[in-house]
Structure 1
């Protein structure tokens, strides 16, 4: 099942609070919102993708706990990006000082901050082109490092600020570079 995009702008423009309430009232659905206000209804993942997402989150969380310089998030967290989009990467990390600069109210809802690092795992029903556009949006809004993992082709696309996308073929690991200094994503559990 593919994501469903609904354009409500001709009849309704959701405020940030209304979008938050819509998400809270429909907890069995996962929503994102584009910078132009289109509502994206994300289908649930299948078992294989859900397991791989959990493995990714586990690795990011374990490193975050040991490192202590930031805070990590799973795929259920929605961030309000500077361009107005509301996005939920499969895994995300934010430097602790940036996170702590938010108010408690901002932390409780959809934090108005762009993560420093994101991972997106392409599920079998996802469009590669749409996922690549989403990764570019993350970079344009302040993500410093991002991984787009395509299990089917066994590729990892690495997105960095000011650089061309690097494509790795069947890597065993991928480094968090200077953004997540010392983090290494083990892909053996993901492939």
Structure 2
């Protein structure tokens, strides 16, 4: 069964022997040739084109990346990725979260020649920020897929209604209402706290 990372009602899916036969290297080059598009790949190697996020969603993702990067700069515990970073997961899907973090130990597993491409590892922490065209139900499905592939902590942020969902392996997601709160990254990200207040829209 396909784990399809379709997160937009306007998403376009390419399938067929030619498409699904792409190697990881060929898919990477395919994405390099289309730098303005948001592209992911299912576990069956179908290619998914998604709508651009829009300014507010991009700004919210940028705020999350900023806070995560600041913490990582102070701790030097790993590497931080933006939405352009993609990961080739154990189930063969290639997904791009809005923000991600992988430990130094996980980064060390990435061959040097792969470090400027899609990484063949799963990050320990991911954040998905809902854009207006995203389906919330499908984002929840995507978060579950992240967990199945090895993510240890995930935040799903819905800035439209001020709700956050915290995902951890083996536990039901925790729903946090109101962006006057903070989300703890413990114990995966020691000392990291995501301040949701900058994400509020008056």
Q: What TM-score results when the alignment is normalised by the length of structure 2?
A: 0.90
Q: Which of residues 112, 134, 139 is equivalent to 1:126?
A: 134
1:69 corresponding residue in structure 2: 77
Runs ≥4 in structure 1, deviation > 2 angstroms? 9-13
How far 1:10 moved relative to its partner? 4.4
Q: Is the 2:106–2:123 contact (alpha carbons within 8 Å) kept by the matching residues of 1?
A: no
How far 1:7 moved relative to its partner? 3.5
Gaps of 5+ in 1: none
User: 2:181 aligned with 1:144, yes or no?
Assistant: no
Q: Which of residues 47, 53, 72 is equivalent to 1:45?
A: 53
Q: How far apart are the structure 2 equivalents of 1:3 and 1:33? A: 16
Please tell me the root mean square deviation across aligned C-alpha atoms, in Å: 1.3
Q: How far apart are the structure 1 equivalents of 2:31 and 2:112? A: 19
Q: Is the 1:7–1:37 contact (alpha carbons within 8 Å) kept by the matching residues of 2?
A: no
1:157 corresponding residue in structure 2: 165
Deviations 1:63-97 (A, max 9, x none): 11001111111111011011000000000000111
How far 1:27 moved relative to its partner? 0.9
Structure-2 change in CA distance of 1:97 and 1:11 (3 Å): closer
| Equivalenced residues, count | 191
User: 2:13 aligned with 1:6, yes or no?
Assistant: yes
Q: Which of residues 43, 57, 76 is equivalent to 1:35?
A: 43
1:56 corresponding residue in structure 2: 64
- Partner SS, residue 128 of structure 2: strand
Q: Is the 1:3–1:40 contact (alpha carbons within 8 Å) kept by the matching residues of 2?
A: no
